[in-house]
Amino acid sequence: MELTGSRRAPLPGARDVGPWPESDLLEATIVLRRPPGPTPATELGAAGRPPVGSRRYLTREEFRTRHGALAADRERVAGFAQRAGFAVVGESVGGRAVRLRGPTRRWSEEFAVRLRRVAWNALEVRAREGPIHLPRELEGIVVAVLGLDNRPQARPHRIRHRTEAPTDVAYDPPAVAAAYSFPPGSDGSGEALAVLELGGGFSASDLRQFFARLSLPTPTVTVVPVDGASNSPTGSVDGPDGEVELDLEIAGSLAPGARLIAYFAPNTDEGFLDGVNAAIHDATNRPSILSISWGGPEPSWTDQARNALNAACEDAAALGVTVLVAAGDAGATDGSTNGALTVDFPASSPYVVACGGTRLVLTPARSEVVWNELAIHEGATGGGVSESFARPSFQSNVGVPAAPNGFVGRGVPDVAGDADPASGYHVVVDGQSIVLGGTSAVAPLWAALVARLNEALGSPLGYLTPRLYDPAETATFTDIVSGNNDGYTAGPGWDACTGWGSPNGMRLLAALQSAPNAPSP
């Protein structure tokens, strides 16, 4: 039986160098169906967002009982593994996932796949083409098999500033927080803020250097390895280390009271899903906020991987975890090879807050426009309309256009913040002080704001996205009405460049506190 949505396209520009060794031990994640009955989305109420303070999110224990993998399904996978010669090496009941290990030959025989060695961008990766077929024991219970193909799935959405101009500026993160009126008297205390990283790492000396310059205490970062990945700095300032340290330095300086947890996973579709599941189902660290600065164009994902990761974002919403995702750094095409308009995923999931980018100038007078530096090869904010996810009800009356293929899809982004490398952030990466921008900076900036809002409100905002479309909340934003992302143009109200615009934290907090049944200030 062919597994729906599992067809994999050839890796563009790759060169086949032969079969993957038959004796190599490979690990892959088997994603199981949801239990019958109500889905996690139904836990959020008919409107998607009960008033602030009245919502009862599920605990992780409750979630496992109500929406975790069925015991009978897990037993079937265990029975298949024993029969076929696989070892069960991991299991996430809440994430509905079982991780198996076995030799290449057995994966090829049981799942009817050809695993090849291919040379691509100076890497040698394992790739497959076409569909996966399920063994009879797994038919009807498995919705995805991820990890057999280990090509890089996502890219970090950060850009180093290189082209100097007289109008360029750069900021320490607290200066941007002040411009966005982050609520005084809060620092994220009591909150656990997670970041997902798909490569690279950070060094304690870099963090000490960065936070000492801001006269802030250096945070302790809890590292959680996923699928064998780890905090592994590359030593290359232009490699993935820049993403990791940008995330930690922005989040840590803007919410210095919050606990920081970094989940390191491989940059594959399997690693991405397992990393998100590890964060949202972490019963030890229990993050209330997850910042994701990685993604890829919607068409670059298989349907099975995209659907599995979107389901994990839905799980996060039911658990009360706010997920903030960078919207991309390559304008309205998201860097697609054919130049077609598309959006970045997982920013296009309706269960996340998609974060777009602006250019912020504070002196001599404040101005803020859509970030677009494509002409000098320094990126532009992602944004547009999904061709995979239907338009959610909270976007039904905000003027989201149809997708390029006519699909009535989810609009991206929801919000924005300073992202232009020419108005970027001073950071320390691999011992160097540099300036970075990109929507990678906006996700942790918004994550820090949510941490401070949670602290001030005394309860987690959780599934925040629909609330951002309530008139009381939309009125708190600074509307960005000038600029474009080479596909869509900014204008009054929501647009596919900067969403509702950049935040005013104090106004947003006041609106949330004034909501029916909101906790007292």
Concatenated DSSP letters for 301-339? S-HHHHHHHHHHHHHHHHHT-EEEEE--SBGGGTT-TT-
Question: CA-CA distance, 124 to 5, in Å (whole number)?
Answer: 25
Cross-sheet strand order for the sheet of 97-103: 87-92, 97-103, 25-32, 142-146
Which amino acid makes up residue 185?
G
> 243, 270, 373, 479: which one is catalytic?
243
pLDDT of residue 412: 98
Residue 120, strand partner residues: 123
DSSP secondary structure code for residue 21 in this structure:
P
- How far, CA to CA in Å, does 318 sit from each of 32, 174, 195, 248, 262? 18, 32, 19, 26, 22
* pLDDT recorded at residue 51: 46
DSSP state of 422: T
β-strand partners of 326: 355
Q: What is the pTM of this model?
A: 0.96
Q: Which of 416, 422, 431, 350 is closest to 386 using CA atoms?
A: 350
Q: How far apart are CA 151 and CA 221, in angstroms?
A: 29
CA distance 211 to 204: 11
The CATH architecture of the domain made up of 155-455 is 3-Layer(aba) Sandwich (3.40)
- CA-nearest of 162, 230, 254, 225 to 451 is 254
Give the pLDDT of residue 517: 53
User: Are 503 and 353 within 8 A, CB to CB?
Assistant: no
The catalytically annotated residue of 440, 455, 479, 495 is: 440
Catalytic annotation present for 349: no
Closest by CA position to 297, among listed 341, 253, 261: 341
CA proximity to 392, closest of 409, 406, 378: 409
For residues 33 and 29, what is the distance between their CA atoms, to the nearest angstrom? 13
Looking at residue 252, what is its pLDDT?
98
Q: What pLDDT is attached to residue 55?
A: 55
Q: Are strands 423-429 and 169-171 parallel, antiparallel or unpaired?
A: parallel
Tokens of 41: 């989305």
Known catalytic residue: 110? no
Active site residue: 43, 149, 206, 247, which one? 247
Tell me if residue 137 falls in helix, strand or coil. helix
Q: Return the DSSP state at 10.
A: -
What does the pLDDT read at residue 50? 46
Dist. CA 313–CA 466, nearest whole Å: 14
- pLDDT tens by residue, 140-171: 999 999 999 999 999 999 999 988 888 899 99
Overall size of the chain counted in residues: 521
How confident is the model at residue 334, as a pLDDT?
96
Among residues 278, 263, 322, 267, which one has the least CA distance to residue 300?
Answer: 267
Instruction: Write out residues in the chain with pLDDT < 70, as ranges.
Output: 45-55, 516-521
Catalytic residue flag (residue 418): no
Q: What is the DSSP letter of 346?
A: T
Of 211, 204, 255, nearest to 233 (Cα)?
Answer: 204
Q: Which of 412, 441, 417 is nearest to 429 (CA)?
A: 441
Kindly compute the dihedral angle of the four CA atoms of residues 459, 461, 463, 466, in this order, to the nearest 10 degrees.
Answer: 140
